[in-house]
């Protein structure tokens, strides 16, 4: 599968029960650590654009928004290929990605300390999307049970303990969002919040366009807003990954499940909610980093 090399030969259960691999205290899929040296030696270019988020925090949404901005809000141009080919993932083999002509738009889930160093060296523009811990945790819980390269989530209570401890794939959400928050003070990073995009997509899309130095007319902006509504994304086979059955079991749930702010209320007990609020308050105190858990 183009731009997903290294996972195209997976069977439905080929790695489901495999353990994740620990790299400096962070758990990654074995399919990532298998290409670790290759990934770390990736040669970024100065005009590369990187989209980054913790898993299930809105990176696929951001990919489609960015592609629409770059192509003047023309959905036909964005229908040229599936999203993972238009904006490939830095996390498996990168051999085919290196052959893509400039300018490239790429995606990753790496925390700041494991991003291939060349992205920092080339001072590449980065768009980072952050989602509140509660909704992110719920979405990630379901995601573990549908993707075939990481273990199942276990019970909700078990998953919550692992999430809080950072013992989940791609590491601690708390460390992750703080690492990128601090990095924005030293690098050209546009740090966006999932909740802000849901609240006012036109406003946030304009921020992205300005960051990319692209002017959007009102009509183009409106087309992008409409095209990237969650309801439209969910049914779009070019973005919902329905063409990757070897990787995603989308019988229950689909890759794009609800896409809402506040879905956590259907999963958290009062005590669990308060506990997570307290953890965030302690860890983020004085940093200026705050998250909304409802609109």
In a domain, 14, yes or no: no
Task: Give the tens place of pLDDT for each residue, 45-102.
Answer: 999 999 999 999 988 889 999 999 999 999 889 888 888 889 999 998 898 898 999 9
Domain presence at residue 293: no
**Averaged pLDDT for residues 158-163:** 94
- Vertex 248 angle, CA 245 and 252, to 5°: 105
Find all residues with CB under 8 Å of 136, minimum gap 6, and list them.
Answer: 54, 56, 57, 173
Answer whether residue 55 is part of any domain.
Answer: yes
CATH number, domain of 41, equals 3.40.50.300
Q: Is residue 132 part of a domain?
A: yes
pLDDT in tens, 218-236: 999 999 999 888 777 776 6
In a domain, 110, yes or no: yes
Q: Are 176 and 48 in contact (CB under 8 A)?
A: no
Domain count, the chain: 1
Which residue among 71, 109, 114, 267 is the active-site one?
A: 109
Are 5 and 96 in contact by the 8 Å Cβ rule? The answer is yes
CA nearest 133: which of 159, 107, 102?
Answer: 159
Expressed as residue numbers, the domain containing 68 is 21-284
Q: What is the pLDDT of residues 238-257, one digit of tens each?
A: 675 555 555 556 566 655 56
Note whether 123 and 75 are within 8 A (CB).
no
- The predicted pLDDT at position 10 comes to 43
290 domain-assigned: no
> Does 109 participate in catalysis according to the annotation?
yes
2, part of any domain: no
> Is residue 204 in some structural domain?
yes
Q: Which helix (H) or strand (E) holds 49?
A: strand 49-53
pTM equals 0.88
pLDDT in tens, 3-60: 454 444 444 444 444 568 999 999 998 889 999 999 999 999 999 999 999 999 988 8
Supply φ then ψ for residue 64, to 5 degrees: -70, -40
């Amino acid at each position: 599968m183009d731009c997903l090399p290294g996972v195209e030969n997976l069977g439905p259960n080929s790695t489901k029960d495999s353990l994740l691999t620990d790299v400096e205290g962070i758990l990654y899929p074995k399919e990532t650590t298998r290409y670790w040296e290759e990934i770390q030696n990736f040669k970024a270019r100065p005009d590369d654009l990187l989209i980054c988020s913790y898993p299930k925090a809105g990176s696929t949404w951001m990919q489609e928004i960015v592609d629409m901005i770059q192509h003047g809000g023309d959905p036909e141009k964005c229908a040229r290929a599936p999203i993972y080919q238009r904006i490939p993932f830095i996390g498996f083999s990168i051999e085919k990605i290196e052959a893509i002509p400039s300018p490239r738009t790429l995606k990753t889930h790496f925390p700041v300390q494991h991003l291939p160093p060349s992205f920092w060296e080339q001072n590449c523009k980065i768009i980072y999307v952050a989602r509140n811990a509660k909704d992110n945790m719920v979405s990630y819980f379901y995601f573990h049970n549908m993707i075939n390269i990481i273990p199942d989530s276990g019970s909700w209570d078990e998953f919550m303990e692992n999430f809080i401890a950072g013992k989940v794939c791609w590491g601690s959400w708390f460390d992750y969002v703080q690492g990128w928050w601090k990095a924005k003070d030293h690098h050209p990073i546009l740090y966006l919040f999932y909740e802000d995009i849901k609240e006012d997509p036109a406003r946030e899309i304009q921020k992205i366009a300005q960051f990319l130095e692209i002017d959007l007319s009102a009509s183009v902006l409106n087309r992008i807003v409409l095209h990237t509504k969650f309801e439209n994304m969910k049914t779009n086979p070019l973005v919902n990954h329905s063409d990757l059955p070897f990787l995603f079991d989308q019988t229950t749930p689909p890759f794009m499940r609800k896409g809402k702010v506040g879905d956590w209320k259907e999963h958290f007990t009062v005590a669990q909610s308060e506990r997570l609020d307290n953890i965030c308050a302690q860890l983020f105190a004085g940093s200026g980093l705050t998250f909304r858990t409802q609109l």
